[in-house]
C-alpha cells in the first residue's frame, strides 16, 4: 500500500475555467492540496490523500465573491421599525435610529452570523462597508475585529463608508480619516446624499486624495438614486483618469446611469474606455429600492449593465443588504443575485448568462484586487467550491446548494443535495 502524499485529494471534479485552458471543463480532474495550497492538478493523481473526496463529476469553481454588503446593519430588519416606504431614504432614517444602540458585540455577532451564512453558500471573499458617520466608530471597530477573527476561513475587506455624507456634519470628515488610520482596506463615499451638489463633488475629490495619501482602495456609493441629474459618476471618472488609480476604484450602484439620456450616457461610456474602474451592481436591492417615486412605467433601478459589459468594463455583484432596513430579504446566496441580474438587466443570451456567473466569481476578485490569490490553479491558495450543476447556466437556473466549500485547504462546509421522495398516486 502506498503512503499518503497529500493532505487532501479531490477526485473526479469538472473544473470551471474563465478561459480555455489545458484542463477541459468536460474532463474529470483530481486536485491535490497540501498546507493550504493547491499543489497538483491532473486528470488522475496517483498518490493518495490523507483525506479524499469523490466529487462524482460535479463542477469545481473558484469561490463566490460578495463585492458589496453592509455587515454592520445585517440581520436588523424591523429594528426599531419596518421600512414602510421601501425607499433608500427611509432606510437611512431607520438606520440612524438603530445605530444609536450599536455595541461591539452586537455588530460582531450579526456580522459573523452573516459571514457563516455566506460561506456555507460558497462565498469566501467579502467586501463590507462600515458606517463611519457615527461618533464612536463602533461599527467600524467591530468589523475590523471580525476581519481578524474570521481570517482563517474567509477574507473580509472593510471599506469606511460615511453613510450620512463626509460633509453631512462637521465631524464626519475627521471620522473617515480616523477610520483610515485604524486600518480599513478601502475608503467610500455617498456623493448623491451630500447636502449639496458642490459637497458631493468635493467629497469625491477628498476620497481620492485620502486614498492616495493612505494607499487604499476606493469604493463609492455613486448615484444610487433615480434622479437623472445625479452625475457624480463623471466626477469619479475624471478623478480616476487623472489619478491613474484605475482598477483600484469601484463605483457601486450607479443606478442613475439607467436614467440618463442616451447622448450623455454614451459620452460617459466613451470616457470610461479611458479608465479601468469597476462597477458593482446590486440588483436584488435596487430593483426594490428604486423607482419608488415613479408612477408608470417604473424604472428598474439598475445601471447600464449590458452596455458596460459589452464595452468590457469589469462588473461584479453584491447583495448590498441582508435582512436590514433597506432590504428585509436576502440570504447571502450569490446565485440569487446573479439570477436577479439576468432577469432585471435582460442578460438572457447564453454568453450573457455565463457572464453573470463570472460577475459573482472572477470579476468580483478583480474588483477586490485579489490579484494572484484567486482561482483554482496550482500554486494558489486552496479555496474552491463544488456545485452539483452541469455548467454556469445550470448553476444559476437551479441554484443548487453548494456541495463542498474548501477554504485554506480544509473542508469548511458540506451540504447534501435535497432529495424529493415522489409518491405516485
Ligand atoms: Fe451599499
pLDDT tens across 252-278, in order?
999 999 999 999 999 999 999 999 999
In this prediction, residue 274 carries a pLDDT of: 95
User: Over the stretch 148-188, which tens digit does the pLDDT of each residue have?
Assistant: 999 999 999 999 999 999 999 999 999 999 999 999 999 99
Mean of per-residue pLDDT scores for the chain: 95
- For ligand 1, the distance from its centroid to the CA atom of residue 147, given in whole angstroms, is 18
Q: What is the pLDDT of residue 23?
A: 59
Query: What's the pLDDT at 1?
Result: 42
Q: How close is the Cα of 320 to the center of ligand 1, in Å?
A: 5
pLDDT of residue 47 exceeding 50: yes
Q: What is the pLDDT of residues 318-329, one digit of tens each?
A: 999 999 999 999
Decide if pLDDT at 135 tops 70.
yes
Residue 104's CB is within 10 A of a number of other CB atoms, namely 15
Q: What is the pLDDT averaged over residues 241-252?
A: 97
Cα(21)–Cα(25) distance, integer angstroms: 9
Entry pTM: 0.97
Dump pLDDT digits (tens) for 6-29. Answer: 999 999 999 998 875 555 667 899
Distance 317 CA to ligand 1 centre (A): 11
Residue 20's pLDDT is 53
Task: Note if 234 is an active site residue.
Answer: no
Please tell me the distance between residue 392's alpha carbon and the centre of ligand 1 in angstroms: 27
Q: Is the pLDDT confidence value at 3 over 70?
A: no
Query: CA dist 366 to 317, 353, 359, 373, Å?
Result: 12, 19, 10, 11
Residue 306 has pLDDT above 60, yes or no: yes
* CA 104 to ligand 1 centroid distance, Å: 21
Q: How many angstroms separate the Cα of 42 from the Cα of each of 17, 22, 70, 337, 403?
A: 14, 10, 40, 33, 21
Q: Could you list which residues have their CB under 5 Å from ion ligand 1?
A: 320
Centroid of ligand 1 to alpha carbon of 69 (angstroms): 6
Count of alpha carbons within 13 angstroms of residue 212, beta-carbon side = 12
What percent of the chain has a predicted confidence (pLDDT) above 70? 98
What are the structural domains, with CATH classification, of the chain? 5-62+375-414 (2.30.40.10), 64-373 (3.20.20.140)
Burial of 20 (0-12, 13-18, 19+ CB in 10 A): exposed
From ligand 1's centre to the CA of 280, what distance in Å?
10
Active-site annotation holder among 198, 224, 244, 416: 224
Amino acid at each position: 500500500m502506498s503512503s499518503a502524499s497529500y493532505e487532501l485529494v479531490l477526485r473526479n471534479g469538472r473544473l470551471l475555467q474563465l478561459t480555455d485552458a489545458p484542463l477541459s471543463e468536460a474532463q474529470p480532474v483530481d486536485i491535490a492540496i497540501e498546507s493550504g495550497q493547491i499543489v497538483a492538478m491532473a486528470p488522475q493523481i496517483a498518490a493518495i490523500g490523507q483525506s479524499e473526496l469523490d466529487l462524482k463529476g460535479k463542477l469545481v469553481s473558484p469561490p463566490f465573491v460578495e463585492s458589496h454588503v453592509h455587515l454592520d446593519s445585517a440581520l436588523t430588519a424591523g429594528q426599531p421599525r419596518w421600512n414602510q416606504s421601501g425607499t433608500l431614504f427611509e432606510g437611512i432614517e431607520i438606520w440612524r435610529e438603530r445605530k444609536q444602540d450599536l455595541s461591539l458585540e452586537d455588530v460582531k455577532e450579526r456580522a459573523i452570523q452573516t459571514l457563516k451564512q455566506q460561506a456555507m453558500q460558497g462565498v469566501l471573499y467579502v467586501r463590507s462597508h462600515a458606517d463611519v458617520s457615527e461618533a464612536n466608530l463602533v461599527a467600524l471597530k467591530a468589523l475590523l475585529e471580525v476581519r481578524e477573527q474570521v481570517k482563517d476561513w474567509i477574507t473580509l475587506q472593510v471599506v469606511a463608508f460615511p453613510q450620512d455624507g463626509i460633509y453631512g456634519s462637521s465631524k464626519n470628515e475627521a471620522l473617515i480619516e480616523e477610520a483610515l488610520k485604524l486600518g480599513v482596506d478601502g475608503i467610500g463615499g455617498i456623493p448623491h446624499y451630500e447636502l449639496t451638489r458642490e459637497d458631493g463633488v468635493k467629497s469625491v475629490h477628498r476620497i481620492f486624495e485620502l486614498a492616495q495619501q493612505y494607499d487604499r482602495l476606493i469604493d463609492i456609493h455613486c448615484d444610487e438614486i433615480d434622479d437623472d441629474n445625479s452625475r457624480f459618476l463623471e466626477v469619479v471618472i475624471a478623478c480616476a483618469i487623472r489619478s491613474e488609480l484605475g482598477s483600484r476604484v469601484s463605483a457601486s450602484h450607479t443606478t442613475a446611469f439607467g436614467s440618463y439620456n442616451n447622448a450623455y450616457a454614451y459620452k460617459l461610456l466613451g470616457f470610461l474606455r479611458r479608465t479601468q474602474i469597476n462597477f458593482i451592481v446590486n440588483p436584488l436591492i435596487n430593483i426594490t429600492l428604486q423607482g419608488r417615486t415613479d408612477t408608470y412605467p417604473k424604472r428598474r433601478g439598475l445601471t447600464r449593465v449590458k452596455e458596460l459589459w459589452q464595452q468590457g468594463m469589469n462588473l461584479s455583484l453584491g447583495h448590498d443588504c441582508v435582512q436590514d432596513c433597506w432590504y428585509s430579504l436576502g440570504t447571502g446566496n450569490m446565485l440569487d443575485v446573479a439570477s436577479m441580474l439576468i432577469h432585471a438587466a435582460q442578460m438572457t443570451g447564453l454568453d450573457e448568462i455565463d457572464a453573470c456567473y463570472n460577475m459573482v466569481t472572477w470579476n468580483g476578485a478583480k474588483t477586490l484586487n485579489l490579484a494572484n490569490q484567486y482561482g483554482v490553479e496550482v500554486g494558489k491558495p486552496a479555496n474552491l467550491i463544488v456545485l452539483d450543476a452541469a455548467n454556469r447556466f445550470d448553476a444559476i437556473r437551479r441554484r443548487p446548494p453548494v456541495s463542498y466549500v474548501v477554504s485554506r485547504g480544509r473542508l469548511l462546509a458540506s451540504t447534501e443535495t435535497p432529495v424529493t421522495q415522489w409518491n405516485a398516486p
